[in-house]
Amino acid sequence: MIRRFKFLPALNRAVGTARVGIMTLESMITRRTVLAAGAAGAGVTVLAACSSSGGNNSGGGATQTSPPAAGHPLAKLDDVPVGQAKAVKLPDGSPAVVARPTASTAACFSAICTHQGCTVAPHGNKLDCPCHGSQFNALTGAVLQGPATAPLEKIGVQVSGGEIVTT
C-alpha cells in the first residue's frame, strides 16, 4: 500500500514514480523467456556433444596417436594374406591396420580416417571409411578416394619370429 501525503506533493510524485518503476519477479519471467533459455541450453548441449572427438565412429575429427611400445606383437604374419590387410589393436587399445605387401614384409597404419576420425575397415587391398566414403590403399596408407586428403598415419613395425611387432 502506498501512503499519500497531502502536504508533500513532491513526495507523492516520487513515490508514484518509484512504484511504476518497480518490476516484480513474476512480470520479468515470461513463457517466452523460459522457452528461450531452454532452447539456448539445449543448443549448448548439442554443440558440446558434436565437438567431442576420440577416434571412434562418431566422426569427431582425426586424432594423433602416440607411438606404441616397441616389441608388442600385433598379429601373426601368416594371419595376413599377401597383398591384404587385417584390423588389429595397438597396445593402448587404439585401432590399427597391419598389411602384408610381400611374403616377408609388413606395414602398419592407424585405422583412424584422416578426414573426420572414423575407424576404417580393411577390404582386401583397400581400407574403407564407413562415415564419408574415403578409401585408402591398405599397403601404403595413401588416399585412393576422398573426401580425406591426407594418408593414414604410419606405425613402425617389423617381422620377427613369424609375428608382426611394433618398433
The pLDDT tens digits for 95-113 are 999 999 999 899 999 999 9
Location of each CATH 2.102.10.10 domain in the chain: 73-166
Q: What is the pLDDT of residue 72?
A: 82
- In sequence order, what are the beta bridge partners of 75? 164
pLDDT band with cut points at 50, 70 and 90 for residue 50: very low
Q: Is the pLDDT of residue 139 over 60?
A: yes
Q: What is the pLDDT of residue 67?
A: 60
pTM reported for the whole predicted model: 0.57
Count CB-CB contacts under 10 A for residue 71.
12
Q: Lowest-pLDDT range, 33-37, 40-44, 66-70?
A: 40-44
Residue 67 carries which DSSP code? Answer: P
Tell the CATH superfamily of the 73-166 domain. Rieske [2Fe-2S] iron-sulphur domain (2.102.10.10)
d(CA 62, CA 131): 13
Q: What is the pLDDT of residue 120?
A: 93
Name the residue among 162, 138, 163, 160 with its Cα closest to residue 151: 138
For the record, the C-alpha cell of 105 comes out as 614384409
